Amino acid sequence: MQTKKLFSLLLVLILSTLPGFAQDQVEMADLMRSNGKIYVVVAVAATVMLGLIIYLISIDRKVSSIEKKLKK
């Protein structure tokens, strides 16, 4: 019974936010695109993602080497 109430509450909350997502105009993106700043945003996001990927690869290599040492 408790899960039904929780599910109903989540459903109502999700459905109440849908009209906000259905709006046609994205003013911030249009403004940044017109000023040419959208490229800065894309470059920063790409740099952050690349940094995260490199960090995860280095952590994976370190964990793999530790696992190999523990097996011996």
Q: Which range is least confidently modeled, 8-12, 13-17, 63-67?
A: 13-17
Mean pLDDT over 66-71 rounds to: 94
CA dihedral 38, 44, 47, 52 (to 10 degrees): -120
Q: Is residue 19 exposed (0-12), middle (13-18) or buried (19+ Cβ within 10 Å)?
A: exposed
Mean pLDDT over 42-68 rounds to: 96
| Residue 55: predicted pLDDT | 97
Mean pLDDT over 11-18 rounds to: 80
Instruction: Work out the pLDDT band at 24, boundaries 50, 70, 90.
Output: low
Instruction: Work out the pLDDT band at 65, boundaries 50, 70, 90.
Output: very high
